[in-house]
Amino acid sequence: MELRHLKYFLAVAETRNFTRAAARCYVAQSALSQQIARLEKDVGAPLFTRTSRSVRLTAAGELLEPLARRILADVDHAQDALDALAGLRRGRLRLGLVQTMAVPFDMVEVLAAYRARHPGVDLRVSNAPSSRMAEAVLAGTLDVAVVGLAAPQVPDGLAHRTLGSAPLVVVVPREHPLADRDVIGLADLPDGHPLIQFTRGTGLRRQVEAAFTRAGAEAGGHFEVGQVRDMIRLAARGVGVTVVPRSAVEGPGSVMGLDSADRLPRGARMLRLTDPEAVHHVCVVHDGTRPAPAVEAFLEILEGLDAHRSA
C-alpha cells in the first residue's frame, strides 16, 4: 500500500467521480483507475461500487476513508516536525477563515504578518460555513480555522480559543418604518418582513435564528446570500432587512470598511438590538493533541495580538 494510492482513493471518495479525481491528482484517469485497482487488491476488497451514473463507497471503503485521512495527516505532521527543526522554513498551513469577523484586529494583517515571518510556508486560505470548517479540522483536511462559533458549539475533540465577539445589529433601508429608532427588538419588525439571511450552516445564521427564537418572532421570508457585504448592500437598497455583526459594518476588518463616523450606503440605518444574548462569537479551532509547527506559529501571532490589545 503506497501513500499515493491513499491520496487517489480519497480524491475519488471526495469527488465521487473518477474523472474529476484524476484531474485533481494531475494524472490520467486510466492511471488513477489502475492504482485504485491495486489498492483494492492490497486490501482484499472492492472500495467503490461503480455504475454509469454514480460512484459510492463500499463498506470497506467507508472503513478505510477515516484511516487513510489519519495516515496522510500523520505523514504531514511528521514533515511539519522536521520542518520545525529547520526553523519552519517549509511546511503548509491550510486555514479556514470565516467571513464575519468579530475581533478587534484585521485578519488580513494577521495573514501578512504570518507570511512575513514564514515566507517558506505554503499558506492556503479557504472559506466555508463555520460548522463545515470545524469538521474539516477534525477530519484533517484543514489545519486550523477561525470560525463563527461560540465555545459550546465547537465539536468535541477540537481545542479552541475565543478571539472576540460583536453584538448583532439590524440594517434597514432609510424608508423602513423603524429607521428612525436607535434600538429595536426583533419582535418589533413588521409581520412578513423580508429578511436577507446568510448561508445555511454558518455560525452567523445559527446565531440570528436563535435571536429570533428568543424574541418569539418569525424570521420572515428569506433571501439567502453568501456574502455579508452583499447582505448589507441589499438591505440598503430596500430588498429587505438583515441582521449582521456590528463588526461587519464598522471597525478593523469590517466588510464595509466603515468607521463609526461613516454612513451606510444609500442612507441605510444600523439599529442596535435589545437582546443582550444576540452576539456573534468568533474563535480559532485546531487539533490540540498535536498541533503542527505551522499551526503553532499562527496561534502565536494571534496570541501576540491579544497581548498587544490587553497592554
Q: Tell me which residue has cell 474563535.
A: 283
Residues 194 and 158 in one domain: no
Residues 274 and 295 in one domain: no
C-alpha Rg value of the chain to the nearest Å:
23
Q: Which of 28, 50, 81 is the last residue of a domain?
A: 81
Compute how many other C-beta atoms are within 10 angstroms of the C-beta atom of residue 58: 14
pLDDT for res 311: 45
Does the pLDDT value for residue 56 go beyond 50?
yes
How do beta strands 144-147 and 92-97 pair? parallel
Residues 6+ apart with CB under 8 A from 293: 80, 81, 83, 84, 88, 91
**pLDDT digits 0-9 by tens, 177-224:** 999 999 999 999 988 788 999 988 788 888 899 999 999 998 876 789
Domain co-membership, 184 together with 286: no
Residues 276 and 194 in one domain: yes
Higher pLDDT, 87 or 135: 135
Q: Which of 81, 113, 130 is the last residue of a domain?
A: 81
Question: What average pLDDT is seen over the chain?
Answer: 85
C-alpha 145 chain-centroid distance: 6
22 shares its domain with 105: no
Q: Could you write out the DSSP letters of every residue in 248-263?
A: HHBSTT-SS-B-TT--
209 and 150 share one domain: no
**Phi, psi for 142 (deg, rounded to 5):** -125, 150
Q: Both 140 and 77 in a single domain?
A: no
The pLDDT, as a whole number, for residue 82 is 64
Q: How confident is the model at residue 101 (pLDDT cuts 50, 70, 90)?
A: low
Q: How many domains does the chain have?
A: 3
Condensed to tens digits (0 to 9), the pLDDT of residues 125-163 reads 998 888 889 999 988 889 999 998 888 889 988 999 988
pLDDT at residue 144 in the model: 94
Residues 64 and 191 reside in one and the same domain: no
Percent of the chain with pLDDT over 70: 89
CA angle 138, 140, 145 (to 5 degrees): 65
Same domain (yes/no): 273, 236:
yes
- Which structural domain range is residue 201 located in? 165-280
Dihedral (CA of 172, 175, 176, 177) sign: positive
Burial class (CB in 10 A: 0-12, 13-18, 19+), 261: exposed
**Which one, of 48, 39, 35, lies nearest residue 68 by Cα?**
39
What's the CATH number where 112 sits? 3.40.190.10
State the amino acid at position 283 in one-letter form.
Answer: C
